[in-house]
Amino acid sequence: MSRMVDLSTASPAIALGPLDGRYRAVAAPLVNHLSEAALNRARLQVEVEWLIHLTDARALPGAPALSDSEKAYLRGVVEDFGAEQIAELAAIEAETRHDVKAVEYLLKRRLAEAARAPGVVGADGGPTVLPGVGEIVHIFCTSEDINNLSYALTIRAAIEQVWLPAARGLVADLTAMAHEHADAAMLSRTHGQAATPTTLGKELAVLARRLSRQVRRVEATEYLGKINGATGTFGAHVVSVPGADWQAVARAFVEHLGLVWNPLTTQIESHDWQAELYSDVARFNRIAHNLATDAWTYISLGYFHQRLSAQGSTGSSTMPHKVNPIRFENGEANLEISCSLLDTLAATLVTSRLQRDLTDSTTQRNIGVALGHSLLAIDNIRRGLAGLDVDRERLEEDLDATWEVLGEPVQQAMRAASVAGATGMADPYERLKELTRGKRVTREAMRDFIRSLGMPDDVEARLLALTPATYTGLATQLVDHLEG
């Protein structure tokens, strides 16, 4: 029999997953929005605001108006929601076996306690009416009325307050690097082969612009919500209080929460907006993955050097000369995990059998995990980029060893000269192919070839002055498009 300690019983509890363990510091800001506790706080907020909204709207005959102190007391219940309330709610749920019902009961407890709260008075200056309005809590609501609004609030907060600032930070870092190295001539590689030179800054700018476009898509997300009953018909509302304009009441409430009203739903809000959001975040992830793999490759080519102080003191456990590109490798892996979860969320949340099934309940509890791995990856890539230095000598060395890449401009200059009336310019592609394909071409060989063509003097002079390092077209200027 094993004598090892059972780690599952250790106190304090040991995290099962890396986001709550090894990488807790990076992922922790999401806890305030996408943890189970944060979801319950949002549910409490929605219940409180629904109570206030119904009494303000005079939608319920006989319901009392609430004073400012009573509204402040109710909103304080949400603001004060912390460890003590989390434990109390867990105890209630252990009895109800229903998470939303537990929130309802917790709020009713607070209503009963309001009479003892200092400074809480009714609208007429007399005793508070809150202990007597318990039946308004959760009235006309199915659990999903509360849940869909709570998820919309928490996801919006997580995206706007945590994920987007990190994503924008990565774009800003990359944009700064693109401008800094806009003129750093670099050999391109298409299909892994030496190709038309570019600049390092321009290549970084391509990735920065791609990422920026996805950020704008995420920023434009519409967060939808509904509060229309068990199958989206307002059935109980109309039967119970036929005189109220329930669509107007519902719309005003959803918009009061800062969300977009969805008037046509089943029991659930259809989650299409979530699927759209997760697809956009996943696309950002995949472009960031492209950035990570390109940075890794540039490091392997010697174009980037990693500063040891930025990467950590140990590169390899056995090979002391190494400084491994661990930030980019960590970023790759976490982006892949994030995308797999986001893809699953986007694919599954758009389907619900008939008017309701419960598959979305457990699925949505993984939103924080999906965004957490993305956040971790962004953090690692930013730290990796911050630790890079460009080796311009290595860039120039590669360029000077590949004069064959000038076969392209020479060929195109021959074509243009032929169109302009020059003679002897026939078969430019075939002639350059004979000179360059599968061969290393020296400076002298390329210039001798140019002189042999009989080009117009101005064209020949332009080509003889050209080097791989100067054959970068408008690459430097193209970086300026990042400002557009």
Return d(Cα 208, Cα 482) in angstroms, integer. Answer: 8
Separation of CA 375 from chain center: 7
Active site residue 289: no
Tell me the two tokens of residue 382: 């930013």
Tell me the two tokens of residue 83: 């460890």
Q: What is the DSSP letter of 260?
A: E
Active-site residue, from 316, 340, 361, 452: 316
Return d(Cα 400, Cα 75) in angstroms, integer. Answer: 69
Active-site residue, from 191, 309, 317, 321: 191
Residue 423 burial (CB < 10 Å; 0-12/13-18/19+)?
A: exposed
Structure-derived torsion over alpha carbons of residues 320, 174, 195, 475, reported in degrees to the nearest 10: -140
Active site residue 98: no
Structure-derived torsion over alpha carbons of residues 115, 119, 122, 126, reported in degrees to the nearest 10: 90
Separation of CA 243 from chain center: 45
Return d(Cα 42, Cα 152) in angstroms, integer. Answer: 9
Return d(Cα 107, Cα 437) in angstroms, integer. Answer: 77
3-state class of 292 per DSSP?
helix
Q: What amino acid positions are annotated as catalytic residues?
A: 191, 316
